[in-house]
A and B are shown apart, each in its own frame.
Chain A
Amino acid sequence: MNFNFHTNHRLLLISIFTGFLTLSLIIAVFPAKFVQDNNPPLTNKEFLSPEASRGLEIFVAEGCVTCHTQQVRNIATDKMWGKRPSIPADFADNKRLGFWRSTPSLLGTERTGPDLTNVGNRQGDVWHYIHLYNPRAVVPESIMPSYPWLFKSKAQAGPGDQVINIPDDFKDNPEDIIVATQRAEHLVAYLNSLKQAEILKTSTPEFIEYDWMKREPVAQPIATTEASEVDQEEILLDNRGPKDYERQCQACHQANGEGIPGAFPSLKGSPIVLDESPDQMINIILNGFDRPNEYGAMPALGVVLSDEQVAAIVNFERNHWGNKAPKTTVAHVKEIRNKTAANQ
């Protein structure tokens, strides 16, 4: 037998074939099988409803995974996308889409748009519909495509039609009534189902924060000796308020605080915002609010926001766009959070 690769083509082909196959089994197939078999789904994670499952198929067909990731990495940068880093069990119920198609690649490799791991906790139905119809109607700087083919224009809404209040500027014809198709409803059902499930504190992986990532507070409290602790807190809240509003609230209530007529209420001059006591406002932010037939439902942001963030947002909204109302404190937000949690 000729053991020279240079002259024995059969040996050469067999060697390169088996060599690569062996390495592939070791590095890809066995680990994949192991990870698949040893990570059962979380018990408290809801399974996708039939509507949401169909929504997932639309999500994949439209190529949403191209720009939107669904993984919270275990580095501090990703804290904005979830309360904890993603774990293998989060993805355990992600299965093959059927005979023709494989398991969808939901984790993604590019974040041209926001991560969607927790989007179900951040945004409500109405926002999703308007945003899908034309993203720039709610986020003027957005570069996401519009999906008008998931909607229908009608002269008159029929019974059971999901009418979407699109600002006139974004419709071909201001008279048109925009109605969501079933496909849009399914897609939104899927987006709403994207919520990061709670897991036991002990088994929660931690975010890695490298030394060089640690940031000093944006502004140092001035004259530390004289300023009281309360003042210092107020300054810190004032500093982070605009950023937190921009990140958490602006998508619906807009940069000018005026919201979108028929979809999101204005905060400018709103009696709830200007109320002497901030309690109702804090309650709405923490636990959501829905007054059907008037505005889109406000999602309960208590799961997403910390007490500090809520206090910062409340103070910002109550003292911006010409609003003027007394500020609140972190302690007060905490108090209301505990009180409302006890009531439920």
Chain B
Amino acid sequence: MRTFIKCSLALLCLLGTESLWSQSADRSIAAEPGITGTLLLGALVLAVCIVLAIVKISAAFSSMARKEKADSRKELKSLIENLNEEELQALAGKTEPEFNLEGHELSGIAVAKDEKGLIRQVENEVHSSPMVSRKKGAVSKMNLDPAFSKLILAFIGSAAFWLIFGTLIGQYLGMKFVWPELDSIAWLSFGRLRPVHTNAVFWGWSSMAMLGLGHLVVARTCNTAIYSLKAGWAALMLINSSVIIGSLLLMNGVNNGGGEYREYIWPVTALFAAGLIICLWNFYQTIARRNTKEIYVSNWYILGACAWTLVLVTIAYLPFYQNGLGETIIQGYYMHQGVGMWFMTFTLGLVYYFLPQSLNKPIYSYSLGVLAFWTQMLFYTLIGTHHFVFSPIPWSLQTVAIVFSMGMLIPVIAGTTNFLLTFRGSWRKLKDSYVLPFLLVGIVFYFVGSGQGTMQAFRFTNVIWHFTDFNVAHSHMTMYGIIAFFLWGGIYYLVPRITGQTPKELLVGAHFWMAFVGLIIYMFSMMIGGTLKGVSWLEGESFIKSVTLMAPYWLWRAIGGTMMFLSHIIFGINLWRMSRLKSKEPDLTDQLILKYEKKVLIS
């Protein structure tokens, strides 16, 4: 099935690019740096997907071969067992032995002890599923205060809810491109529902998941308890209520003015901001009480993300400079920084914790992380206006944005290099980890999505791609390919270590592959369709042509989107399985340790 999808996808790419070529035989658009770069980056994603698939398939084959071998051995064994004494002796070619063995010549007669649990984890069963390789379970539970665990699980649970809700809406919107008459209910009309989708996955899913994981990362890297659990719960309530109220208002036709990602009116955003202030304060106090000398680099990113986003939201909602085109300048600044300074920055902070943890080795270069942090602040901040190239915004401002979009490659390359070099030498671990495939895809998309964003900021590429569905491809490559995959990596790492429950391997595999392949279908259909749309405008065809030509690409998008959505339901099931706290068999050791720690804290 997977191969079939990939073949048809490759065919689709070929078709799409072919017609692009033929339209421009003599002035080859493909020779433009922006386009060439994007094509290369797209090819990179495909290559990674194919390599991963090949690795998986070959692993499946070898596991099947192993199973066959084991089966034939079993057969032989039962054959031998069914032989009678004489036949056996004939087979062995031996008569009665001259001595008797006691049976404990090698082991001795002392009772076996397994103090370090070396043997407990070993399983003798042959792993029989050809689809997924055997993953290591969460061996050691983290010793977390149960109340703290509960808070983190509440954040992640809310996030999962908003993910399923938000992408259900996204899925429905994608179908409306194919069947515009799906419904004619005011509350469900496209214009009202689209911001519900974007805001729910932004402020509901991604932000809640980030903050949930963030609480843990801050506490663990500071080697102390989180400063205030109550503050954590308050933030959780505030942010959840902001997304609930915001979504209802949007569906009811109450929005702030239609600027992307600031569609919530200010009182609703204020709820979110209040939650954020509380989190920033809580993180800061925890860091101030750290038991380590240095502030781990994750905390730089997390503090930065919270502080910057507060500045950002304040600037975006203050009215004094937002008449006329002033609003547009702020909108460009806001929509880019919302992504770059909040989601990207915070998530990078998480990766600096979860990647070394799940590889069980330190990050390759601490300094590279610090360099990436400061350049992130410098370059990302200045590139907002690249969303309005060729608009009436001052030309010089557009140029600054384009130049710094190029500069943005510095933190991106620094980060990618750092993560990949951390990976180096541990690639085998990919095979038996739930977490690493997610993180690896996140890293690949971090490079590809961000690099492609740079290419898209060029003036040339703006002529062709701006206003088309190519933007939609870009935003899903980044918010989904980077952010969502990193967050899943973090969640699959953390939750089993909190609860001691591992998810079903097959279901994690299904989640991973459906999300990944779905995203690839989604992004390539939108990239190819978007390019054809841009070329159609360039050729001066009537506008409706650019709508009809998109039909097959919108259909493919809906197909990719459906796979992504289904993968989220599977994620929901996995999360539910992982987060059932074991109640029948309380772990005595854990309780004793906690009791002891409390005593120490009190005294």
Q: Is A295 an interface residue (CB 8 A)?
A: no
Contact A20 B260 (CB under 8 A): no
Residue A158 at the B interface, CB < 8 A?
Answer: no
State how many angstroms separate the Cβ of B176 from the closest Cβ of chain A.
7
User: Among the listed stretches A46-54, A61-69, A223-231, A307-315, which one makes contact with chain B, having 4 or more residues with CB under 8 Å of it?
Assistant: A61-69
User: From residue A276, how far is it (CB to closest CB) to chain B in Å?
Assistant: 30
Chain B hits for A27, CB < 8 A: 333, 381-382, 384-385, 400
Contacting residues, chain B, for A78 (C-beta < 8 A)? 390
Proximity string of chain B (181-196) to chain A, C-beta cutoff 8 Å, 1 when within and 0 when not: 1001010011110110
Q: Is B146 an interface residue (CB 8 A)?
A: no
Choice from B258, B385, B471, B541 contacting A63 with Cβ under 8 Å = B258
Give Cα A65 to B253, complex, Å.
13
The minimal Cβ–Cβ distance linking B552 to chain A, given in whole angstroms, is 13
Q: Once the chains bind, are A102 and B256 in contact (CB under 8 Å)?
A: yes
Q: Does A88 contact B (CB under 8 A)?
A: yes
Number of A-B residue pairs with CB-CB distance less than 8 Å in the complex they form: 265
The interface bits of chain B over 156-193 (1 if a CB of A lies within 8 angstroms of the residue's CB, else 0) are 00000000000000000000110011001010011110
Q: How many residues on B have C-beta within 8 angstroms of the other chain's C-beta atoms?
A: 94
Question: For the complex, is B47 an interface residue (Cβ under 8 Å from A)?
Answer: no
A23 at the interface (CB under 8 A from B): yes
Say yes or no for B467: interface residue by CB 8 A criterion.
yes
- Whether B330 sits at the interface, judged by CB under 8 Å, is yes
- The listed residue (A93, A105, A146, A212) touching B258 by CB distance below 8 A is A105
What B residues does A6 contact at CB under 8 A? 294-295
B394 touches A21 (CB 8 A): no
In the complex, whether A73 has a CB less than 8 A from a CB of chain B is yes
Chain B residues near A (Cβ < 8 Å)? 24, 27, 29, 176-177, 180-181, 184, 186, 189-192, 194-195, 253-260, 262, 265-267, 284, 287-288, 290, 293-295, 300, 303-304, 307-308, 311-312, 315, 317, 319-331, 333, 335, 337, 341, 370, 377-378, 381-382, 384-385, 387-388, 390-394, 397, 400, 460, 463, 466-469, 471-472, 537-544, 547-548
Chain B residue at minimal CB-CB distance from A246: B542
Determine the distance from Cα of A135 to Cα of B326 in the docked complex, in whole angstroms.
33
Most B C-beta atoms less than 10 A away, residue of A31, A39, A87, A94: A31
Given the complex of chains A and B, what is the CA–CA distance between A145 and B544 in angstroms?
Answer: 15
List chain A residues, Cβ under 8 A from B290: 9
Contact of A105 among B180, B259, B311, B312 (CB under 8 A): B259
Say whether, besides A31-B397, A32-B329, A144-B180, A80 and B540 are in contact (CB < 8 Å). Answer: yes
**5 cross-chain pairs, A with B, having the tightest CB-CB distances, nearest first:** A63-B191, A36-B326, A105-B259, A111-B467, A65-B258
Most A CB within 10 A of own CB, among B324, B328, B537:
B324
Given A32-B330, A36-B322, A212-B27, the answer on whether A12 and B543 have CB atoms closer than 8 Å is: no
B321 touches A29 (CB 8 A): yes
Of all chain A residues, the one with the shortest Cβ separation from B27 is A212
A-B contact pairs, 23 of them (CB 8 A): A9-B303, A12-B300, A16-B303, A16-B304, A23-B377, A24-B381, A27-B400, A29-B321, A35-B326, A36-B321, A36-B323, A63-B194, A66-B191, A71-B392, A94-B324, A102-B256, A103-B326, A105-B331, A114-B543, A146-B181, A147-B189, A212-B29, A213-B538
Please report the C-alpha to C-alpha distance between residue A56 and residue B564 in the assembled complex, in whole angstroms: 36
A12 touches B315 (CB 8 A): no
Separation of A106 and B469 alpha carbons in the complex (Å): 19
Q: How far is the CA of A29 from the CA of B186 in the complex (A)?
A: 36
Instruction: Tell me, yes or no, whether A141 is within 8 Å of chain B by CB.
Output: yes
Question: Which of chain B's residues have a CB closer than 8 A to the CB of A32?
Answer: 321-322, 325-327, 329-330
**In the complex, chain A residues whose CB is within 8 Å of the CB of B319:** 96, 102-103
Whether B377 pairs with A16 at a CB distance below 8 angstroms is yes
Q: Flag if B325 contacts A39 (CB, 8 Å).
A: yes
Check: A19 CB closer than 8 A to any chain B CB. yes
A36 to B324, CA, bound (A): 6
